Chains A and B, each alone.
Chain A
Amino acid sequence: MPFPLRKPSHILVYILLTCREIGCLRRFATWTFKAMWHLSASRLAGMAMAMQQSFTVYPFDPPGDVAALRAEIRAFLAQHEAKLGVPNCWVVGDPEFSRALGAAGFLGMILPQEVGGHARHPLERYVVIEELLAAGAPVGAHWIADRQTAPLILRYGSDEAKERYLPGICRGEIYTCIGLSEPGAGSDLAAVRTSARHTAEGWRISGQKIWTSGAHMSHVMLALVRSEEGSERNAGLSQFLIPMDAPGITIRPIIDMGGDHHFNEVFFDDVLLPEWAMVGTRGQGWAQATAELALERSGPERYLSSHVLMTALIDAAGPDPEPQIRGLIGELTAELWTLRQMSMSTAAKLAAGEDPMVEASMVKDLGNSFEQALPQRVQALVDCPSTRDDDLARLMRALLIAAPSFSLRGGTREIIRGIIARGLGLR
């Protein structure tokens, strides 16, 4: 074979691609290949810079027998079949279901055994939660505690906080809420004004949180508050665990547009907290809350919370649907499958100890758009007059109403795209 040996790279390719068939030379060729590579690396680097990549794929490789783990959680779900099929299921709470999940060892999976956890790998937890979401299980009661509060307490919390809350979270008995948003601090979270004042008896909390999901079902709130008087923006903030039954707390329901009581206003009137209620380092609340948001935004719930509508559509369509419906199902399948690959890769990156901020934002944005479009695409093709009352029609209507919240909660679409743009070097 003619071969222009003009550049080191060509010699490499030549050795790599043509010399390997000669058995006895193979080891030599590989060795030469590597040696040549080191010699020529610097020249090659100048010649052809490695191409930019929009998304680096991390292999999803949980330890242990994944099929067996899936079978276990599916068997659990089969026992609770009557409770499944809930749309937007991770905001729908069912303490009985949460306790059963805890008893079966599916909560606090990544926490150590000393605090009641199960010392499993984060990707094993991922397998379990994607099964729960795909089945539309009512996981809302414990969702926030298991997803973000428990890992935060484990990492930054005092010994008292760990003892008091973690075992109960693992049993599915203690629920938590997120105290970030305030009337004046929505997307601009650094505008938080709720304050913590240090006194001889402990910390005194005053102010207000709003849009607090599940505050009325929660035992404790993990709140971001201003602990340093006169501080500005993201400096001087700290995180606190606030027991929801502490004197001085008032919870007022806010009914959402679907008629459900899901989020709340929470008022703090000089609420007294013990020293151990502060989480992590005084004044480091912003960095900790950012770590918390990485857990909040990177999970499969950002594309799987409407999966039950897709299954209802497939059920209703039957094995041989008309061409238009078949086409829609095909498109939805492609999008779902792609999102799952992206989500698994993001989870794997987080599990590898790296920061998947940009990848998680991409999955959230794409997942939100997918889920918001889903009920509208079903509506456009399937005849569902408001009098129709089967599973498909009910789920479609419920999700049409729930959908606007998807690209608001956990960071709005615009904020999320801003994070992606920063990753591209534009900000």
Chain B
Amino acid sequence: MTRISPETPAGAAAAAPAPWSIRLRDATVRYPNGVVGLNKISLDIEAGEMVSIVGLSGSGKSSLIRTINGLVSLSSGTLEVGDHRMDLARGRELRRLRGQIGMIFQGFNLAGRTTVLNNVLVGRLAHTSVARTLVGAYRPRDRQLAYEALDRVGMLERVYHRAAHLSGGQQQRVAIARALAQEPGIVLADEPVASLDPPTAHAVMGDLRRINRELGITVLVNLHLLDLARGYGNRLIGLRAGEIVYDGPAASATDADFERIYGRPIGDQDLLGGAASSASTASPVSLPGEPV
């Protein structure tokens, strides 16, 4: 099974795009109902960072992630991704920028009744004409990128399976392949393992870390479990009520830091447990085989 690795020829063939930085200045998100999702946030994320974002439910984690690819628009403030003003982008330009930003969801968001391949090809839509999309005639290079992405997450042999017939962990890997097929500069993940059992959760988090380390892509992951946040992120951002209340290295964040972010004592419900994550070791952990 081919895995992502700097030496993999497949990885070299697809000229990996440069990772993107993210720059937010006084960014506020106020929803139409008046709820403030983000409150005057300023944040710099360098290209190639792996960032865990933690906070209680409702603290603004999803708002932050969804702002970065323009699914939620800023009410005020500015947002730059790479060298581009995301907050000013509209129409074609907005779609072009979104095409460079992969997104992974808690619920996988695959079209269940079609094949794994067709789902991964959704990652190529920003580079595919509407006419080609309508008749399903993707270019050979786009198919090639889809196969490579599936190979990287170990799902190539499922390429013609129906997405709905896969297990949760497999579906999330297909979703990661869909993001990778975009050849993204940034990957955003919104609670990517909240619907998975502990071993599968660690496997998927391992995949995300590998994307960051071996492809150099900037990765932002929303999490609510502190051991995952500490174990897989290099940097930790804590949100409370739409504001950044912690920003520092992930590995050295103490339980007291988490209690400050959460505003309450931490307990077992804040930990996933399961396979120990090697946060400090630099070498990539080998994944367990196919999770269930």
A in complex with B:
no
Taking Cβ atoms with an 8 Å cutoff, the residues of A that contact B are none
Which residues on B are within 8 Å of A, measured CB to CB? none
